[in-house]
Amino acid sequence: MSSSEAAGPSPSSALAGRSEFVSSLLAVVLALAVGAVLILAWGASPVTAYAALLDGAFGSWNSLGETLLRAIPLTFTGLAIAIAFRGGTFNLGAEGQLFLGATAAAWVGLAIPTLPAPLLIPAMIVTAAFVGALWSLLAGVLKLRFGANELITTIMLNYIAILFVSYLLRGPLQEAAGYLPQTERLSANARFPALIAGTRLHLGFLLALAAVVLAHIALWHTSWGFKLRVVGLNARAALNAGYNVRLLTLSAFVVSGVLAGLAGYMEVVGVQRRMIENLSPGFGYTGIIVALLGQTSPFGVLAAAILFAGLQVGGSTMQTASGVPSTLTTIIQGLVVLFVIGRGAVDLFLARRGAK
């Protein structure tokens, strides 16, 4: 038997590979368990605290609406990073793409506020997608033309984008009143209708679901997705198979940028109703964790986005009900990352126990 088998599964790793879902779930459970210990150390009851967390995240129409509302941008940024990753590129620039996409969409909405909604909304969506894609494509071109590592360029481009948006919001695009770094409010034509009456959840959630389904189809049922995955796994084999590897790599950057730009658009029309300086509390970065926990699969991303949104939304209820600071949820998010990355070790542990 030849060397190749070294890359093959042993019974233990076959056990691990049985389900990536299980190991993601395990990461979450472990993170919550460690969180429970921290709650105990704080002097509160984990049961009470987690019950409050759950209640705050999913306990009523209103809280469910808030959680899903928060999940919308996380789903888009998570998809953006997942698809780039499948194509073998690390898009850490979703945050900047989000800011530029959002600003461009807001600018269109403010420039032609009286256009009927069926025209204005698509115009804004296309603009956000286009600008997000352009910003992402810049990193792609730098990578292919000069060999610049996108891990670095995308992060640098984030600073440029976010500072440029700050300038716009204090200068050319600032509201007439001129107090805050934000634009005027968008006209009613540009806004999204509410999805559930009495909550802030808007049409964007359906678009996020549609994006998940489309991403799944694109990755697993189109020849583009097939070739993209091949490039991500082995670019040399892709070249040898006759693929246009450069074009496929650029397409990963473009699709990723489109999705990140849309994340920004959703926040502008669905939540803030205008462009503001602090539009995103790091959706572009949390999206990296979402993509990771979701095993870079679109439906996994959706589940992870809802989970993280629930943690963030339920945190304040937890604080009110049990006195445990809501920052605990940030710790839990961090622990999830640790455990997902430490998956290999966990799997090994399970395999050992299984083999005994």
Partner 1 sequence: MTSAIGDGPAPLDLSGITVRFGSFTANDAVDFSVGRGEIHALLGENGAGKTTLMRVVAGLIIPQEGTIRIDGRPVRLASPLDAAAEGIGMVHQHFMLISTLTVAQNVCVGIAKAGRVFPDLAKVARDLEEIGARYGLQVDPHALVGSLSVASRQRVEIVKALYRGARILVLDEPTAVLAPQEVDGLFRVLRMLAEAGTAIVFISHKLGEVMALSHRVSVLRHGRLVATKPTADTNPAELARLMIGEDLVLPTVDGAHTPGQVAIETRGVSLRDELGVTRLSDVSLAARSGEIVGVAGVDGNGQQQLAEILAGLQAPAAGAVIMASPSGPVDVSRSGPGRRIALGLAHIPEDRHHTALVDMSIADNAVLDSIDRPPLARRGFLAHRAIRAFATRLIAANDVRCTGPEQGVMTLSGGNQQKVVLGRALAHDPRVIVAVQPTRGLDLGATAFVHRQLLAEREKGAAIVLVSTELDEVLALSDRIVVMFAGRIVGAMSRAEVTLERLGAMMTGQAA
Q: How far is the CB of 223 from partner 1 (least distance, A)?
A: 4
Q: Which is nearer to partner 1, 168 or 215 (CB)?
A: 215
The interaxial angle of helices 46-58 and 20-42, nearest 10 deg, is: 120
Q: How far is the CB of 93 from partner 1 (least distance, A)?
A: 27
Q: Which residue has the tokens 């097939």?
A: 226
SS3 202: strand
- DSSP annotation of 272 reads I
Q: Which is nearer to partner 1, 198 or 242 (CB)?
A: 242
Q: What's the sign of the alpha-carbon dihedral 140, 160, 76, 19?
A: positive
Q: Which is nearer to partner 1, 6 or 177 (CB)?
A: 6
SS3 1: coil
The CA-to-CA distance between both ends of the chain, in Å, stands at 27
What DSSP string runs through 144-193?
Answer: HHH---HHHHHHHHHHHHHHHHHHHHHTTT--TT-SSSB-PPPPGGGSPP
Q: Which is nearer to partner 1, 29 or 237 (CB)?
A: 237
Distances 89 to 83, 271, 307 between C-alpha atoms, Å? 9, 31, 25
Q: Which is nearer to partner 1, 143 or 227 (CB)?
A: 227
Q: Which is nearer to partner 1, 4 or 114 (CB)?
A: 4
What DSSP string runs through 32-85?
Answer: HHHHHHHHHHHTS-HHHHHHHHHHHHHSSHHHHHHHHHHHHHHHHHHHHHHHHH
Q: How far is the CB of 145 from partner 1 (least distance, A)?
A: 17
Residues of the shown chain interacting with partner 1 in the complex, contacts defined by CB under 8 A = 1-12, 14, 220-224, 226-227, 229-230, 233-234, 236-244, 351-352, 355
